[in-house]
Structure 1
């Protein structure tokens, strides 16, 4: 049976290799002002995605450019929702100008991690996505629960990370710890193949945890990101795995 996996990358974050990375992926998550980015960078990223027929997603975060969105912030719920909608609006406006649909939303950094740690943050993010009033995919880590029922317009894609180490509960190892970010393209490719073929993740402690994924991320700011994606794409094709969205067959 042929397998299909979506490969995504966080782009529009000021990296110098976006134009090289975009043809290697099937979905992109565009920084939209919370941790990085402005109208110009978003438009450039959306146009690049259109050129390579890559699904466009918004990558909103806590409003914290100083710390690249990697610190949790305590904000009133309505204020945070307003910030997130403003960021997503920026990507959606650029998509409309290019006659592209907004495909998904993927929270960034601390906001993404807080979805697992804080029920209120998970519920708030779902509220924001639901309030967009359209069909969207929401990228989440494993084991996310929401207080309310998932609307029919929203589909969850469980995301795995090619270039990050995992704890036994499938939370990411803190970037402050040694071994949190993976660099070896061959080892990363072998790990991703296991994630797809065997539905399992090898954790930092050596445990093998069962988990299926809908999309796999390579961060654009990971050292060797371009080499990682080139080799990963080659290994996936060699293994008979199609790169793209599952809902597209």
Structure 2
């Protein structure tokens, strides 16, 4: 039986935060969950602590955003990584953020890998299984966020985790449902109206238009906006309007029992 978070009249709107760029505070009123950098691609101990406090103040669900160790390239460079290494780095980073969350009197809500680790785990079943095992071993009540239809979501379901299938507001898609590589010039949507249209299509029609023009079926439990873009607050406001205009209430998925 699938343990995915069921789609309903509500949708999660998440943002990657604590990365030392942009205005995290300006994003908070628009989102329902945040994935916080754990120091390996961005952020540090003080930033983690401040971002956790910011989430608590705004009622935003808190997630860990573990990455490959690659601050120079913001965690977006694919590096050779074994399943054992993926397990250990996930356990290490989630444990670090979880300590800050616990000290603040809150609970960790989810884990979402960052950047290259995320895209590698979307395709590589062994890496996906290692990451999912690490999440389960930290706390089996945690949600695992992964690219909709990916190996990471499948691995989480096999291990009995609750899974949130993730779609991206301002990234373009290939016909196989994967994201267009950031090395491609059309990988990112820079026009806020186009991003809002993509989100509305994802929610109303349950599909996304690939860059090849095909309609790709897509399930979305959570919509992501990257918080490191300089216009993220303006994008967030427009996307929240598009989500609510499509008839959805914004709320984090699968709150802890």
Task: Quote the residue 2:60 is aligned against.
Answer: 54
Task: Quote the residue 2:146 is aligned against.
Answer: 140
Q: Does 1:22 align with 2:28?
A: yes
Counterpart selection for 1:214 from 210, 221, 237: 221
Task: Quote the residue 1:99 is aligned against.
Answer: 105
Instruction: Pick closer, same or farther for the CA change 1:84–1:149 going to 2, 3 Å.
Output: closer
Task: Quote the residue 1:151 is aligned against.
Answer: 159
Task: Quote the residue 1:114 is aligned against.
Answer: 120
Gaps of 5+ in 1: none
Gaps of 5+ in 2: 1-7
Q: CA deviation at 1:81?
A: 2.5
Q: CA deviation at 1:170?
A: 1.1
Q: Give the Cα–Cα distance (whole angstroms) in 1 for the partners of residues 245 and 120 of structure 2.
A: 36
Task: Quote the residue 1:85 is aligned against.
Answer: 91
Counterpart selection for 2:135 from 129, 134, 139: 129
Q: CA deviation at 1:16?
A: 2.9
**Which stretch of the first structure deviates more once superposed, 131-140 or 72-81?**
72-81
RMSD: 1.9
Q: CA deviation at 1:176?
A: 1.2
State the TM-score, normalized to the length of structure 2: 0.90
Question: Secondary structure, in 3 states, of the residue corresponding to 2:196?
Answer: helix
Task: Quote the residue 1:13 is aligned against.
Answer: 19
Question: Secondary structure, in 3 states, of the residue corresponding to 2:73?
Answer: coil
Q: Does 1:163 align with 2:170?
A: yes
Q: CA deviation at 1:148?
A: 8.7
* Preserved CA contact (<8 Å) 1:42 1:90: no
**Which stretch of the first structure deviates more once superposed, 232-241 or 101-110?**
232-241
Instruction: Pick closer, same or farther for the CA change 1:65–1:148 going to 2, 3 Å.
Output: closer
Q: CA deviation at 1:85?
A: 1.6
